[in-house]
Amino acid sequence: MSTPSAPNEGGTELAGSVALVTGGAIGIGRAICVGLAAAGARVVVADRADPGVTVAEVEKAGGEALGVLADVTAEEELADAVRATVNSFGGIDILVNNAGIFAGLTPGPFELLNADDWRTVLEVNVIGSFLAAKAVVGPMRARGGGRIINIASTTAFKGTAYLLHYTSSKGAVLAMTKALARELGGDGILVNAVAPGFTVSAGVEQHADRVGAMRQNAPGSRILRREMVPDDVVGAVRFLAGPHSGFMTGQAIVVDGGAYLH
């Protein structure tokens, strides 16, 4: 049986880099923040929830972090987060667009969804990613380049039913990744995505009644038959943020234990 990866092993591949992670207060976002800090990056934890616990975890592990309150749907709050990052750490090299809505959604037939359900999901998962990329591109250009890493989902590849608005939003994130890669490549800004499978995060634990069936079924669909945890996502993010992916852009890395063979 496979075991979870060890993404928090110390490294120096991101030494001197500054990373801004949206949705970094809990779950996958927190794991990414700790993992990037373990690779040497200074990390800004941006979330509308209190980022303090993540900042404390990074600092406990010997890293350097800054917490900022920011809702990715609010353009001015993102601008403030970017200003705080530049003022504290001198610039931005890495953006991880992790903030998103999933675990709180109730799976069901598409005809029961309404326009407001769609708007809520698209505003966070798609427009929020766009606004964050827009906010960081100036500082990245000033540094001579950067990395934008969008957190997508395997639902967009598999066409997962009964979550049409979520599945569609992650398909849009993948399309955005490709289009931004073409638009920003001349600036030395590489844009890639990581597409996780169903991950047992804090949000999933908090909404067990809504996603219990998905959690039960997920391990059996994988080659590596175990639950996926937030730390499993971090290795791919570290790779895309670091020097060993310098000739990759517009790509998506699937991390799901072999449920979808991309």
- Six-digit token pair at 161? 């039913």
Secondary structure of residue 39 in the 3-state scheme: coil
Residue with tokens 């992790």: 98
Please choose, from the candidates 205, 214, 221, 230, the residue with its C-alpha nearest in 3D space to the C-alpha of residue 257: 221
Active site residues: 166
The sign of the CA dihedral 103, 106, 110, 115 is negative
Single-letter amino acid, residue 134: K
What token pair was written down for 51?
Answer: 């980022």
Q: How far is 246 from 240, CA to CA, in rounded Å?
A: 8
Asked if 227 and 200 count as a contact pair (C-beta separation under 8 A), the reply is yes
**7 near 35, Cβ under 8 Å?**
yes
Are residues 8 and 35 in contact, defined by beta-carbon separation less than 8 angstroms? yes
Residue found under tokens 């990245």: 140
Rounded (5°) CA angle 77-14-126: 35
